[in-house]
Amino acid sequence: MYGLLGFFILALFHLVGVWLQHNGNIPLPGNVIGLLLFLAALYMRIVRLEWVEQAAQFLLKHMLLFFIPYVVGIIAFAPLLGEHWFSILVGIGGSTTAVLLTTAWSARRWKSQPLMDATQAQQSFSSPTNKREERML
């Protein structure tokens, strides 16, 4: 029921984003501006989740499909890529691996523990029964 309305809303936000990019001199692509505006609209309850959920789920499920033409388009650059294949492969592969590991490592390093665990840990630390258990271990 809400499927088509969802598509309309998503396309509308994309359109506004692209328009703002071209007329507002914002150094971000239109789709990211559209995403930020769409998030703001969801937070302010201008757009309700149930209106867009079905359409969003469909588009996100098949997001890889929309990238296929770009990947096929790489062949236009085949001669240049073939000539510099080694430095391109090492540059992209090495740098992407480094970014993946650094981001994942720092996310885990600074991850804050859920509040529940902190209070539980404190309780277990101060409670005498647990202390006894600890000593036994």
Between residue 3 and residue 42, which ones bind another protein under the rule CB under 8 A?
7, 10-11, 13-14, 17-18, 27-32, 34-36, 38-39, 42
The position carrying tokens 């202390």 is 131
Is 79 a binder of another protein (CB under 8 A)? no
Q: Which of 1, 63, 136, 137 binds another protein (CB under 8 A)?
A: 63
Instruction: Return the residue of 1, 44, 72, 136 that touches another protein, per CB under 8 A.
Output: 72
Cβ-based nearer residue to another protein, 105 or 125 = 105
3-state helix, strand, coil in the chain (%, to 5): 85, 0, 15
Give, as ranges, the residues between 117 and 136 that touch another protein (CB under 8 A): none
Which residues touch 35 (CB under 8 Å, ≥6 apart)? Answer: 13, 17
- Torsions phi, psi of 105, nearest 5? -65, -45
> Dihedral of CA 121/122/124/125: which sign?
positive
Q: Quick check: 71 binds another protein (CB under 8 A)?
A: yes
User: Count of residues binding another protein (CB under 8 A)?
Assistant: 75
